[in-house]
Amino acid sequence: MTTTHTTQLILASASPRRRELLQQIELQFHVHVVEIDETPRLNEKPGDYVLRMAESKASAAYKNLREEHKKFGRLVVLSADTSVICDELILGKPFDKEAARKQLRMLSGRVHQVLTSVAVLAADEDQLTPFVQTLVSQSSVEFAQLTSEGIEKYLQTDEPYDKAGSYAVQGMAAQFIKHISGSYSGIMGLPLFETAQLLAAANIQTL
């Protein structure tokens, strides 16, 4: 048992991969999806951007649930944001096939970075200002040189279109990847080592 009856853990994300990763470490949680403006600010650095996104998602979920959490006594909200960075550009989810094609061509034969931020917000029933902790996991991914045929075959699948950078490390795109340095789960969307540390600080233990 990882939570008590007086604590509710909320995942503020629609990502099925983040749900799977939390289930992997046997956490009990509920999902509360929030919609926020994910447009990067002018000259915003990638690390600042992913942190702002995770914090904003956690805060939005808490705002929606703060009245409900009184019956639990304590509310803990977990959120995350993942961005693929190449040439200092933030590669988000592609909005169409041409955008996905452009991103994959950019990543072909190169090393890029994957930044995943995690935010954990905790609030007791009588706590007016919730306590928030954040961190960023950075990993490097090296792609092989992709052929035009390989890119087009990949674009015919459903995989690229809801993923930052237009690929899924745990899916068919694994055959594109020559080397990874960092957190595999972080590249998937939720770095489990760092997430467990933040949750432990909020008195939610995984082991």
Q: Strands 30-31, 7-11: parallel, antiparallel or unpaired by DSSP?
A: parallel
Q: Which residues are annotated as catalytic?
A: 81
In order of 7, 55, 73, 185, 197, the CA distances from 189 in angstroms are: 24, 15, 29, 6, 16
Angle between helices 148-155 and 97-107 (to 10 degrees): 140
| Secondary structure class of 91 (helix, strand, coil) | strand
Comparing CA positions, the residue from 58, 103, 64 lying closest to residue 79 is 58
128 token code pair = 């007016």
Q: What is the spatial distance between Cα 162 and Cα 32, in angstroms, rounded to a whole number?
A: 18
The neighbouring-strand residues paired with 66 are none
In order of 129, 152, 172, 188, 190, the CA distances from 185 in angstroms are: 31, 27, 16, 5, 6
